[in-house]
Chains A and B, each alone.
Chain A
């Protein structure tokens, strides 16, 4: 099973709402990633979790709060977002470590619209 699943597929929220994005993988990968992708641009790294610990935070605003409850699950909690945060949010997973090449598998994404 080489699948990364994400829910919901679409999300519309107001600037005062609190919502969460969810991601799940069952490939035994120990690294999980959140990316943000704007139209016609490459994915932009937000966070990396390695062995359930946050290892990279690309100076993401605190209105985005990641959480990794276990090795298969990754959440992204959203609060007080701005319209410019509207984008496709992608989750990915991979093996990690000096023994492993960075073969990342992406989920289908959550299309987020902030009104």
Chain B
């Protein structure tokens, strides 16, 4: 079953606007939540990540908000730019047990930023 659920599947935002992508999970053993950005024909690049001991992490225009009780986390892209147009994947992992080494990916969100 899908361990991490991501929405929306696609997102169109005007330049300068805020892009918001949401993810939800069930497994309370998850203790690391990265976001990857992928351009066509390229490998995913680690964008930003958060651990459940903080509720927010900001790096430049990118912010992760984390709600441990709701088991949800989201990526906010402020002042979205055409160069941000890419596919974004959320993911989750745990250091415990037999799932060591696995990243559970969401299905991805295709972001298009119009100039």
Do A and B belong to a common assembly?
yes
**Given A55-B101, A98-B95, A98-B96, is A106 in contact with B108 using a C-beta cutoff of 8 Å?**
no
Assess whether A100 is interfacial by the CB under 8 Å rule: yes
| A-B contacts at CB below 8 angstroms, number | 75
Q: Which of B24-51 contact A (CB under 8 A)?
A: 31-32, 34, 36, 41-46, 49, 51
Task: Please tell me if the beta carbons of B107 and A31 are within 8 angstroms of each other in the complex.
Answer: no
Task: Please tell me if the beta carbons of B46 and A100 are within 8 angstroms of each other in the complex.
Answer: no
Task: Please tell me if the beta carbons of B43 and A106 are within 8 angstroms of each other in the complex.
Answer: yes
A: interface residue count bin: 20 to 34
B-side interface residues, number (CB < 8 Å):
26
Assess whether B73 is interfacial by the CB under 8 Å rule: no
Task: Please tell me if the beta carbons of A45 and B102 are within 8 angstroms of each other in the complex.
Answer: yes
Binds B, one of A12-20, A36-44, A65-73, A79-87: A36-44
Chain B residues at the A interface, C-beta cutoff of 8 Å: 31-32, 34, 36, 41-46, 49, 51, 87, 89, 93, 95-96, 100-103, 105-108, 110
Known contacts A42-B107, A56-B101; can you find 5 more A-B pairs with CB under 8 A?
A: A90-B44, A96-B100, A101-B51, A103-B32, A104-B46
